[in-house]
Structure 1
Amino acid sequence: MSQLGEIQQAILNDDLGAVASLDVPESYRGVTVHKDEADMFHGLESRDKDPRKSLHVDEVPTPELGPGEALIAVMASAINYNTVWTSIFEPVSTFKFLERYGRLSPLAKRHDLPYHVVGSDLSGVVLRTGVGVHNWKAGDEVVAHCLNVELEGPDGHNDTMLDTEQRIWGFETNFGGLAEVALVKANQLMPKPDHLTWEEAASPGLVNSTAYRQLVSRNGADMKQGDVVLIWGASGGLGSYATQYALNGGAIPVCVVSSPEKAEICRKLGAELIIDRNAEGYRFWKDENNQDPKEWQRFGKKIRELTGGEDPDIVFEHPGRETFGASVYAARKGGTIVTCASTSGFMHQYDNRYLWMNLKRIIGSHFANYRESWEANRLIAKGLIHPTLSKTYTLEDTGQAALDVHRNAHQGKVGVLALAPEEGLGVRNHELREKHIDGINAFRNV
């Protein structure tokens, strides 16, 4: 049996104490993009770029373990939009990130390779820890958040997201989670929620933490009870967590979706105010260069019909170019537009009169610091927020999983099995699971 096979068997047999005595494998399988293929989609529109052509499953060497780091046996991972961006080499090739990181120090040089092992989520078991790590040991069941931060300068010590050397693991660094083994900093690790399977536990990390900071944290919108929260893509990877946080926090979500099926998911989560943008036929752009303010007005009227005449206190933004003009218009006077992404385009346009004359605010929000990520994971572990996993693929089919997300042909989150041989494994607390099984399965079989 191979070294990875022995590790896998020990985990599946719940013999976690034996993991420390097993040898670390010299290599493992990881999902990669190749530097010499960075121009493979040149001249194609984004929608025509196919992640199945650029994402490979390669046998790669296990990286050197540095101080303050950990090697993880990955049981499962998940797809995020940054994996889609990586796979289609937009807005830039991620090899530019790896080259820059590699210039930082001799240890960081490990990341500058002709291949990039991708993925910013995982659940798994600690294999080894580097010098100086004391909170984690071999055999611990963990999940990882994706903030990679150096913290040698002063800027990050109030909020680690402001550190000058802050990066997203598996996107701006190498050795990510879509693999059988991953390299993380020890301060990325959090306890695996024990009522979830490996694939369920792997799926919340990036999007759950992002939604928490963006909506709940004082670093984001600082949502309060009674706030009307407009949520774009409310059944998607980010929006599904924003919807849960709004409901849990006593806010009033207005969920924007694109189909009756997605509307039904929001209702299952407990939301009542839902706009099917396709059914309503909103066209915020007249053509490539000009938006239609009358459509903003029609959209705002629809929101007020649902809320009893109230405009949103908070707009939870992530589509970007396609919706941003409508978002700035729709927010109430003194309201907040908080944005964390631009999946429909990075160059936003809006009518600034609606911003300055109505004293609105635009807040940029990017992932989350360790404390915010820990708090978000704690809510998952307590069964107060649930994973939104809808479908799980094998490591070999990661390209198809990424294509689903690229084409918005998915609900919630899409998972990927690594060392876990099948779905449904890894549950420790069956009583808590049974209590919340409907919430855990809300996105299944939709």
Structure 2
Amino acid sequence: MRADEVGLFEGLPTKDKDPRRSLHLDEVPVPELGPGEALVAVMASAVNYNTVWTSIFEPVPTFTFLKKYGRTGPLGARHDLPYHVVGSDLAGVVLRTGAGVQAWGPGDEVVAHCLSVELEAPQGHDDTMLDPQQRIWGFETNFGGLAQLALVKTNQLMPKPAHLTWEEAACPGLVNSTAYRQLVSRNGAAMRLGDTVLIWGASGGLGSYATQFALASGATPICVVSSPAKAELCHRMGAELVIDRVAEGFRFWSDERTQDQREWRRLGSRIRELTGGRDVDIVFEHPGRETFGASVYAAKKGGTVVTCASTSGYMHEYDNRYLWMNLKRIVGSHFANYAEAWAANDLVSRGLIHPTLSRTYPLDQAGQAAFDVHGNRHQGKVGVLCLAPGEGLGVRDEAQRERHHQAITRFRNV
């Protein structure tokens, strides 16, 4: 991203802002390596919705974040540049490490989670997501994963799952960790055996991991999708209860200012029809404005709406009577701390959770990849090859791959 193009889409509606115009493939200097950091050769990366936000300069240009980081000191100042190397996922090989690093060294095959913290204040030492200097790497910092080389803190590194290819291993990081904290962790909804969970966008990058966590935990997911193909993907993952919101004609807003509460009630009735009369214990929220009123209504008495992101809009509206009079909770959840990210990655390494890679792009088509995610033209996650010369490379454990091959590849070319 280039700072001199911040006004590129001025006056255009969000849907018409085209990441292919704003994301560029350029050569830039390799950043200086600081203490506790690593320079990683990126074999593959992936596109997340934060890359879409960056590429369309919404809700604010990310150069605002880089300038703020630059004011923290000399190491932060390296990030305040007239360009932003974006991307919050990677799978690759450690090239060099900075002073004080003992756990990782050159040649280690790694994936990276996207939590960047300084941990110089006390607030972050119980939960690193509460650190006042908490940032999302490749979004609020520079030198992200959509590049040949990336700069990370070594407390972002985790072992690459040995049975996955580079592009498969690059995909779970951000969304898998986010879904783990949001659903499984005590910092999120603390999902339990037997819970019923409503999952919006259940075949997408985030929802596909939420669906897998629900199934693996003995919960019952109710998967909300927008097409028969996406419904089929949920069935492939093992989900039985699926709502195609487009086919069933759900429209929660009668106009831009007015929600249709009859549609909330229709959704509640549809859920009870599928579950044999049960309301949902947990609503896994991330669309935001479009669905939030319905989510608050649909949660059972004493239930939980756990929310991250807001891909359809940040200004949520809901009827508070359904919240306060029914003792429901809204829990905000943002990415994951190192322990949560490590646990989520370990589940992938053990073959209990699987990547949801559907398609891979070369690095020079990262703009097209972001464009496709922006327009919801994708399933699961889309990968980007960086230094890897082609797909299918990087597998070290062929036996485990063979055991899980069908699950690993179920999203491909759908």
Instruction: Tell me, yes or no, if structure 1 residue 431 matches structure 2 residue 402.
Output: no
1:384 is paired with a residue of what secondary structure?
coil
Residue 117 (structure 2) aligned to one of 130, 139, 149: 149
Aligned to 1:338: 306
Instruction: Tell me, yes or no, if structure 1 residue 224 matches structure 2 residue 203.
Output: no
Q: TM-score, normalised by structure 2?
A: 1.00
Q: How many angstroms apart in 2 are the aligned matches of 1:169 and 1:414?
A: 19
2:301 is paired with a residue of what secondary structure?
coil
Aligned to 1:236: 204
Aligned to 2:27: 59
Q: How many angstroms apart in 1 are the aligned matches of 2:97 and 2:279?
A: 50
Q: Which amino acid aligns with 2:412?
A: R
Q: How many angstroms apart in 2 are the aligned matches of 1:97 and 1:152?
A: 19
1:436 is paired with a residue of what secondary structure?
helix
Cα deviation for residue 411 of structure 1 reads 0.1
Aligned to 2:252: 284
Instruction: Tell me, yes or no, if structure 1 residue 405 matches structure 2 residue 364.
Output: no
Q: How many angstroms apart in 2 are the aligned matches of 1:63 and 1:280?
A: 51
**Identity rate of aligned residues, in percent?**
76
Cα deviation for residue 248 of structure 1 reads 0.2
Cα deviation for residue 445 of structure 1 reads 1.9
Instruction: Tell me, yes or no, if structure 1 residue 182 matches structure 2 residue 137.
Output: no
Aligned to 2:288: 320
How many residues get paired?
Answer: 414
2:235 is paired with a residue of what secondary structure?
helix
Q: How many angstroms apart in 2 are the aligned matches of 1:77 and 1:299?
A: 37
Residue 14 (structure 2) aligned to one of 34, 46, 50: 46
Residue 75 (structure 2) aligned to one of 107, 128, 132: 107
Deviations 1:206-254 (A, max 9, x none): 0000000000000000000000000000000000000000000000000
Within-5 A mapping of 1:28-427: 33-427=1-395
Q: TM-score, normalised by structure 1?
A: 0.93
Cα deviation for residue 161 of structure 1 reads 0.1
Q: Which amino acid aligns with 2:50?
A: N
Q: How many angstroms apart in 2 are the aligned matches of 1:193 and 1:318?
A: 27
RMSD: 0.3
Give unmatched runs, 5+ long, in structure 2: none
Q: Which amino acid aligns with 1:112?
A: D
Q: How many angstroms apart in 2 are the aligned matches of 1:302 and 1:341?
A: 25
Q: How many angstroms apart in 2 are the aligned matches of 1:53 and 1:415?
A: 20
Cα deviation for residue 308 of structure 1 reads 0.4
Q: How many angstroms apart in 1 are the aligned matches of 2:266 and 2:99?
A: 59
1:116 is paired with a residue of what secondary structure?
coil
Cα deviation for residue 107 of structure 1 reads 1.1
Q: Which amino acid aligns with 2:382?
A: V
Q: Which amino acid aligns with 1:424?
A: G
2:283 is paired with a residue of what secondary structure?
strand
Q: How many angstroms apart in 1 are the aligned matches of 2:73 and 2:188?
A: 32
Cα deviation for residue 76 of structure 1 reads 0.1
Q: How many angstroms apart in 2 are the aligned matches of 1:248 and 1:49?
A: 38
2:92 is paired with a residue of what secondary structure?
strand
1:58 is paired with a residue of what secondary structure?
coil
Q: Which amino acid aligns with 1:226?
A: G
Q: Which amino acid aligns with 1:72?
A: V
Aligned to 1:25: none
Cα deviation for residue 351 of structure 1 reads 0.1
2:91 is paired with a residue of what secondary structure?
strand
Q: How many angstroms apart in 2 are the aligned matches of 1:97 and 1:426?
A: 34
4+ residue runs of structure 1 moved beyond 3 angstroms?
A: none
Cα deviation for residue 49 of structure 1 reads 0.2
Q: Which amino acid aligns with 1:38?
A: V
Q: Which amino acid aligns with 1:190?
A: M
Q: How many angstroms apart in 2 are the aligned matches of 1:91 and 1:50?
A: 15
Q: How many angstroms apart in 1 are the aligned matches of 2:146 and 2:74?
A: 25
Q: How many angstroms apart in 1 are the aligned matches of 2:160 and 2:256?
A: 45
Cα deviation for residue 153 of structure 1 reads 0.3
Give unmatched runs, 5+ long, in structure 1: 1-32
Q: Which amino acid aligns with 1:412?
A: G
2:152 is paired with a residue of what secondary structure?
strand
Q: How many angstroms apart in 2 are the aligned matches of 1:330 and 1:442?
A: 30
